[in-house]
Amino acid sequence: MNPLTDLLRHGQAVWLDYIRRSLVTGGELERLVGMGLRGLTSNPAIFEKAIAGSDDYDDELEELLAGDPHMEARELYERLVFRDIRMAADILRPVYDETRGADGFVSLELSPPLVHDTGDSIAEARRFWKAVDRPNLMIKVPATPEGIPVIEALTAEGINVNVTLIFSLEQYEAAARAYIRGLERCRDPAGVSSVASFFLSRIDTVVDRRLEAVGTPEALALRGRAAVASAKAVYGRFKEVFSGGQWQALAEKGARVQRILWASTATKNPAYSDVMYVEEVIGPDTATTLPPATLHAFLDHGRVRPSLEEGVEEAAGELDALAWA
């Protein structure tokens, strides 16, 4: 059985956390979509590696600079990136159409220097949205205090948002509430989608280091537990936020829940399973974004089970024990 379609049966979509020109033009992305891939995420670091680490873009760069030798680096970057994003969005457009706008998205991140600037972030998001001109684009907005109003404003305008860099329950709830407020101001709440990207392995990397500094047997026994336990807590809050009268009124207008997107799914510690952050967080109304190595590992030996709602009480106990440690 294809693990990607098996995950879909459990309510989870798989996205690819990677992009480069040859992936899009060489048929690999189309092949993965045929296998059940439902979306793609990108960020400036991924594009930096793609542009600087390959010759995929050399001809276009030469052409652009021949036309304007003084073109600024930002414009060069955007010309290359927007083209990749458009082509990837077009390949994923059948998924978007088939799911009536529920999936098939390609994510493009705002410029990192804008992370603490609400007004300029909104302006750049509008510019990106207009320039790419694809309905299955998602604008990535960080869940900083300054980013929360951006989420609300863009959602109200009907712009799809991928809220990124969420590491805590408090950040998650702030992002979810901003999405709901945006939907309440949106003319067509059925026409907009959003995901909230909760980062996994990076949490364990930081927490494990602190547990090792404590050094007691009780602390060391908790290594590798913080991320999955936090994910279960966040999923519980997701079910609370997207229920009740306020949400029901929006749902009756066709609004979709803001799915949780599990990010940072590549295992950093070689002592842990290379598919740990995929297998342990499978549940309905979620997505997971996997870098190529993790995707291939999961296709090779990943196991699918409804893990996200298993051991919820034990996870809460682990979070209490982590706080104590």
Pick the catalytic residue: 140, 232, 239, 253?
140
Annotation marks residue 140 as catalytic: yes
Backbone angles phi, psi at 287, to 5 degrees: -135, 160
CA max distance for the chain: 64
Tokens of 83: 């083209």
- Are 13 and 287 in contact by the 8 Å Cβ rule? The answer is yes
- Please tell me the distance from the alpha carbon of residue 159 to that of residue 155, in angstroms, as a whole number: 5
- Are 200 and 264 in contact by the 8 Å Cβ rule? The answer is yes
- Are 92 and 147 in contact by the 8 Å Cβ rule? The answer is no
Helix (H, G, I), strand (E, B) or coil at 292: helix
Residue 314 CB: number of other CB atoms within 10 A? Answer: 11
| Residues tagged active-site | 140
